């Protein structure tokens, strides 16, 4: 039963696409940084066994003493997992390769689809006053991804501007529909963001036209360009906003954050003062 005395919780967004290489982790990292730049407090949950979001936010493997794996399977307090990152306003639940075995271990658990939901709804999390929780999902429709969809309020889908991009969305949409029918009736699509967009490429323009014709206003106006600075930033363990603040990639993620916040303006206005 919901406790009416608890403050309004953060808006939880699963960043998901079962196809790899679409800019999912890059979007999670840089959207978190862009939201923090606007004064929001962000928790990024690294749910990908590759741990790229953790590395990209400057949290080295030796600093990941407790991880998202422990949060899911060892039921430890969320405060023991969360660590600060190199980005002011962004905290992290880090991941290691331990998560790669989580799917098999989750199968035998009766609450296997609800473990992340329970972890992110611990009362102890209220004290952090997070505005948004972003979940960087693995590039598959595994039990880990299902956990993210059950825990989330909404799904943000990065969509690479390439051939067959829309066809790859079909299975994800079916999974979202199934989760909505069985475990999380309030789950919705936050939006679809086109990534690796090249204005000089006719294919990118055709994918954009097809996406907007098919998905309408679900597609964000902001598109993330193909930009060398975005590609270079992870090797420096920085979001592109910190690596090259004046780059086109930084400008795009700032615009995406602004568009996202505009959609949530009424909800954010209702948040209790700190």
Beta carbons within 10 angstroms of residue 38's beta carbon: 13
Largest CA distance in the chain: 54
The sign one gets for the Cα dihedral 243, 247, 248, 251 is positive
Domain membership flag for residue 265? no
Range of the domain at 229: 11-260
Domain membership flag for residue 273? no
Closest residue by Cα to residue 224 from 28, 18, 38? 28
Domain membership flag for residue 130? yes
221 SS3 class = coil
Domain membership flag for residue 43? yes
First-to-last alpha carbon distance for the chain, in angstroms, is 25
Distance of CA 252 to the CA centre of its chain: 17
Domain membership flag for residue 270? no
Domain membership flag for residue 1? no
Identify the CATH number of the domain in which residue 233 sits. Answer: 3.40.50.300
Per-residue model confidence as pLDDT tens for the chain (274 residues)? 445 555 678 999 999 998 888 999 999 999 999 999 999 999 999 999 999 999 999 999 888 989 999 999 988 888 899 999 999 999 999 999 999 988 888 888 888 999 999 999 999 999 999 999 999 999 988 999 999 999 999 999 999 988 888 877 888 999 999 999 999 999 999 999 999 999 898 999 999 999 999 999 999 999 999 999 999 999 999 999 999 999 999 999 999 999 999 988 755 545 544 4
Domain membership flag for residue 267? no
Closest residue by Cα to residue 86 from 228, 192, 193, 243? 243
pTM of the model: 0.93
Total domain count, the chain: 1
Closest residue by Cα to residue 133 from 206, 219, 42, 217? 42
Are residues 103 and 150 in contact, defined by beta-carbon separation less than 8 angstroms?
no
Are residues 93 and 82 in contact, defined by beta-carbon separation less than 8 angstroms?
yes
Domain membership flag for residue 131? yes
């Amino acid at each position: 039963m919901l406790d009416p005395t608890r403050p309004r919780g953060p808006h939880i967004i699963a960043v998901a696409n079962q196809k790899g290489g679409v800019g999912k982790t890059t979007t999670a990292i840089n959207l978190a940084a862009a939201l923090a730049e606007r004064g929001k407090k962000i928790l990024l949950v690294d749910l990908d066994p590759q741990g790229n979001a953790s590395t990209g936010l400057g949290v080295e493997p030796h600093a990941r003493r407790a991880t998202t794996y422990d949060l899911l399977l060892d039921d430890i307090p969320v405060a023991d997992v969360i660590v600060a990152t190199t980005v002011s306003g962004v905290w992290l639940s880090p991941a290691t390769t331990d998560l790669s075995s989580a799917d098999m271990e989750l199968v035998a658990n009766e609450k296997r689809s609800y473990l992340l939901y329970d972890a992110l709804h611990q009362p102890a999390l209220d004290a952090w006053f997070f505005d948004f929780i972003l979940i960087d999902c693995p590039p598959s429709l595994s039990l880990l991804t299902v956990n993210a969809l059950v825990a989330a309020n909404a799904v943000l889908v990065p969509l690479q501007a390439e051939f067959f991009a829309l066809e790859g969305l079909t299975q994800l949409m079916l999974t979202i529909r199934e989760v909505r029918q069985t475990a999380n009736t309030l789950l919705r699509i936050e939006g679809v963001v086109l990534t690796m967009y090249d204005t000089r490429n006719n294919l990118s323009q055709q994918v954009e036209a097809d996406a907007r014709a098919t998905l309408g206003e679900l597609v964000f106006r902001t598109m993330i360009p193909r930009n060398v600075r975005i590609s270079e930033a992870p090797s420096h363990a920085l979001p592109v906003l910190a690596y090259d603040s004046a780059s086109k990639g930084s400008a795009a993620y700032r615009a995406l954050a602004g568009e996202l916040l505009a959609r949530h303006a009424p909800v954010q206005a209702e948040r209790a003062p700190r």
